[in-house]
Chains A and B, each alone.
Chain A
Amino acid sequence: MSSEVTMASDFPAKISGRTQYVDDLHLPGELYGGIVRSPHPYAKITRVDIREAQQVAGVKAVITGDNVPHHAYGPTVYKDWNILACEKVLFVGDEVVAIAADSRDALRQALDKVVVEYEALEPILNPHAALQPGAAVLHEAVPDNRPVKIEFERGDVDKAFAQAYIVRSGRYTTNRIYHGHLEPIAVIANWDEQDGLTLWAGSHIPYRARETYAAAFGLPEEKVRINVPPIGGSFGAKYVLKVHVIAAALSMRAGAPVRIALDRYEDMLTAHPRVPLEIDIRIAADKDGHFLGKDVVVYGDAGARIYWSPNVLASACTRADSLYQFHNVRAKGNLCYTNNSPTTCMRGFGNAEMLFAVENVIDEIAEGLGMDPAQLRLQNIVHKGDTTIGGYHLDSCELEACIRQVITLSGWARRRDFKKYHGLGMAIGNHVSGYRGIDPRFDGSTAVARLLASGRVEIETGEIDLGQGMSGTYAHIAARVLGIDPSFITVQSGDTGRYPFGIGTLASRSTVMGGNAVKQACERLRNELANWVKQHYGPTAVLTGGGVEVGQEQHALAEVARDFISCHGGDAFSVKETYTPATELPDRTLYGNPSPSYPFAAHVAEVEVDPDTFRVKVIGYWAVHDAGMVLNRPAATGQVVGGVAQGIGWVTMEDFKVSQGQVQNRSLLDYRMPGSSDVPPVTVEFLETEDPNGPFGAKSVGEMAIDPVPGAISNAIAHALGVRGHDLPLAPERLWRIMQEQPQV
């Protein structure tokens, strides 16, 4: 193996099974918590009877909507959450009664003994139904069931289309995708009059969770503390969750710690999947294949409450405008309440969804013009130095080089000679490295760097490691600044009571935001320490990686640390720095420069389609990324391969089948995620150049990894079949049906 491997220090523990996730932890006297949920997508609660449940031996608390606080709260600006339902239930899985008991058996018995009677109401099952005149109003604050409406036009789109030589259009739909985190959602909550509420919960935005949960109970924020044990996968599933709030409410009632651990069945039944989008898109070009305009209308299904669907819709409406030079763009976005389980972001955040549509339409334009789709892309993409039509400042951009490189790696020229059922497809993408709109109040990051008595350096951050390699990256950054080996660095995070504030890990922000903060803190630590050693050991003292040199004399770092500590009342030398990016909050039309840097990528997929069963096999995949300078290569490569695998699942097999608001395929057998043989060898390359705003020139990778995948695979399938699928997933049966509908030759 190459020596550049930054071994994340948690690897051996994870691999040997010593890492403890939430459900591996136990508090003395803890109770099992569980939830009675609505079986109806929309209904009036006519009776709740918990008396029999309360009689079950071992039951310590039973709560209903009548005995929890009712503050307006929610994780975003839309305060539409409750703790338990009172009058109406809004989706299958909506929480009605919660119980804590001292054993699993007692809990299950008690849950079965709760009586809830409903009067079923006509559910709203899609955004169009939500907008029908006379549709039931699901939240009074939003009388038209449309919490988010986006509308903007930049340039003159109608004029552009009027002048077009070619226009291609279509309605594309993206589906409900389950995050598929291998660790089901779990939480332990403990209420204490003195200390307040403490949660052990997998949340990668724990400070927002803290703020939200404090609001739910009308508590000051300092009365809520969130400990984040290692998280067993999230991809957007583990942000801020009702289950956490309910465990807290149960603990308050029972006076004991309460654990709620969902099993896979409940995790799937109540999952908050990817926001399904319906996208009407058209793109215009002149006869030489220069884009003239893009026009999209998007409908998104938020489900019954707001999680991160507004941001998903916003990315869908805007991000691609900073990938290609469309010159004139218009978007209309509508996010609607329905009686489906609330939907939320998942890796790709709306951008991957829109790129599925955009990249297919671009291939159609290429077909229409008789052009190579790669060439068409090359002549319309953005470049370094551009300020895009959406307002992004591209301080670095190797997109063109990425496309050229993926052409070479994949043997793109083979494409012309493929027989039917064999396809090669390309797609490209862009993303952000942090997004200003996520929290308008602050979008930076804070880090503490501390020289411990042992000579080791401890970094504290408010960002969260999800297994994406964040700790390894931070260790690398700190080591590089301080001139010491990464194995001397410990990265700490995941406790809102101990570590500095952080926005958390979303919008691909950890490398750039947190990384810059770590870099600043370490620089200050180094500079201040260099000054102090001169005061302490004399003006000739120099700080080196391993310690201090004064002439011939050497002082090891541990010794320096101890000397410093004894001169400072026993405190370790510690500095705290905040990085605030020079980004702009997008305006009402979502115009602005919301991120310090933008990564890019070009992907090519090769598929074989079975001519009879239409099962698609992805047989080759090439991904070339501009992620700036790559600080943690194994982690970055792992992110890309993992993203590609998720994209393969999304396009070829995964789909939450929902009927009357209820997920039908609630098991990992019937919701199919890729197994090892479904993923071909993936070739990953990084074209490294420095981005001026990243720590040591780095940009993000995590979400960029999946953005082009749906486009690349679906374009490959279209190339193989000569027919284009518009609705994800392009699973065998759907392709079979499309081909059945083709006129037979």
Chain B
Amino acid sequence: MQEQHIILNLNGEEKMWVGDPTTPLADVIREHFQLTGTKVGCRTGECGACTIILDGAPMNSCILPVAMAENSVIQTIEGLADDRRFQWLVTAMAEEGGAQCGFCTPGIMMTLWASSQASHGGQHPDYHAILKNNLCRCTGYQSILAAAKRVLGREVNAIEQ
């Protein structure tokens, strides 16, 4: 396998990675850059545990070859730690009991955060559509939806006005 040099913009820093360009981005960020907040639950794009944000849009990093991410802005959950809206989500999820085993949680946080960056025209977004690509086996989603509503719904609009 021919190695390729790939420059990644990861959480605001330029990083160099050398290896097989088809390596899933999930493995590169978890194993090479040791950012293990991104989880791998299926490797088939179905569970959403590996969700990262690429140029502002959430994507499954397990089916994203690292070479495709070159020249894009990559954000992992570690890169959001200081973000204000991310912190609101953390608080809301903790208070609502939105995590049990926690394995799906980082992926869900990424999806919800991405949604909080999007404009929903002052409306509650369609939470089910947003979360369709994220599976959670523990919570039954109710607590996650409650947290999402608190942060993404009227509250965000109110805070921003």
Contact = CB atoms under 8 A, between A and B. Distances in A.
Q: Do chains A and B touch in the complex (CB under 8 A)?
A: yes
Given A17-B106, A20-B36, A182-B41, A233 B142 contact: no
A635 B138 CA distance: 11
Interface in A11-31: 11-12, 14-21, 23-24
B69 interface: no
A231 B95 contact: no
Interface stretch (A115-123, A127-135, A543-551, A642-650): A642-650
Nearest to A684: B142
Instruction: Bin chain A's interface residue count.
Output: 35 or more
A390 interface: no
Interface string B37-58: 1111111101101000000000
A14 B135 CA distance: 16
A667 B46 contact: yes
Given A15-B105, A232-B39, A679 B141 contact: yes
A522 to B, nearest CB: 25
Nearest to B40: A23
A634 B49 CA distance: 23
A642 B100 contact: yes
A681 interface: yes
A644 B140 contact: yes
A263 B39 CA distance: 12
Q: Which of A180, A231, A232 has the most CB of B within 10 A?
A: A232
Nearest to B127: A676
A466 B134 CA distance: 20
B104 A637 contact: no
A438 interface: no
A669 B42 CA distance: 10
B36 to A, nearest CB: 4
A673 B42 CA distance: 13
Interface in B39-97: 39-44, 46-47, 49, 76-78, 81, 89-90, 93-97
A18 B35 CA distance: 9
Contacts of B36: 17, 20, 24
A404 interface: no
B131 interface: yes
A231 B103 CA distance: 8
Nearest to B89: A15
A637 B135 CA distance: 19
Nearest to A235: B137
Contacts of B105: 14-15, 17
B102 A14 contact: yes
A535 B17 CA distance: 65
Contacts of A413: none
Contacts of A10: 102
Given A182-B41, A184-B41, A467-B100, A15 B137 contact: no
Nearest to B129: A677
A312 interface: no
Instruction: Bin chain B's interface residue count.
Output: 35 or more
Contacts of B96: 1, 634
A5 interface: yes
Contacts of A676: 127-128, 131-132, 134, 136, 141, 144-145
Contact of B42 (A7, A11, A264, A467): A264
A10 B44 CA distance: 29
A682 interface: yes
B7 to A, nearest CB: 23
A221 interface: no
Interface string A622-640: 0000000000001101100
A679 B100 contact: no
A371 interface: no
Given A16-B77, A180-B137, A675 B1 contact: no
A230 interface: yes
A641 interface: yes
B109 interface: yes
B140 A7 contact: no
Interface string A204-248: 000000000000000000000000001111110000000000000
Interface string A264-286: 11000000000000000000000
Contact of B39 (A5, A183, A642): A183
B99 interface: yes
Contacts of A264: 41-44, 47
Interface in B128-161: 128, 131-132, 134-145
Contacts of B127: 676
Contact of A263 (B43, B106, B135): B43
B77 A233 contact: no
A668 B42 contact: yes
Contacts of A180: 137
Contacts of B128: 675-677
A408 B101 CA distance: 33
Interface string A642-672: 1111100000000000000000000111000
A637 B96 CA distance: 10
A468 B100 contact: yes
A7 B96 CA distance: 10
A105 interface: yes
A182 B145 contact: no
A253 interface: no
B66 to A, nearest CB: 15
Given A233-B138, A679-B142, A182 B131 contact: no
Contacts of B102: 10, 14-15, 19, 230, 232, 467
A643 B139 CA distance: 8
A643 B140 CA distance: 7
A168 interface: no
A14 B128 CA distance: 22
Interface in A138-182: 179-182
B142 A681 contact: yes
Contacts of A183: 39, 41, 101, 103
A19 B43 CA distance: 20
A290 to B, nearest CB: 37
Given A180-B137, A182-B49, A466 B101 contact: yes
Contacts of B78: 17
A645 B135 contact: no
Contacts of B143: 634, 637-638, 641
A578 B102 CA distance: 30
Contacts of A646: 137, 140
Contacts of A468: 100
B109 A232 contact: no
Interface string A499-510: 000000000000
B83 to A, nearest CB: 11
Contacts of B90: 12, 15-16
Contact of B104 (A5, A11, A182, A634): A182
A19 B47 CA distance: 18
B31 to A, nearest CB: 8
Given A1-B95, A264-B42, A264-B43, A21 B137 contact: no
B140 A641 contact: yes
Contacts of B141: 645, 675-676, 679
Interface string A291-335: 000000000000000000000000000000000000000000000
Given A182-B137, A669-B46, A637 B37 contact: no
Contacts of A467: 99-102, 138
Interface in A677-733: 677, 679, 681-682
Contacts of A669: 44, 46
Given A638-B97, A677-B128, 4 more contacts: A15-B102, A17-B77, A467-B100, A645-B140
The 7 closest A-B pairs by CB, nearest first: A17-B37, A232-B103, A14-B102, A645-B140, A467-B101, A467-B100, A677-B128
Interface of A: 1, 5, 7, 10-12, 14-21, 23-24, 105, 179-184, 230-235, 263-265, 466-469, 634-635, 637-638, 641-646, 667-669, 673-677, 679, 681-682
7 contacts: A23-B40, A184-B41, A233-B103, A638-B139, A643-B140, A646-B140, A675-B128
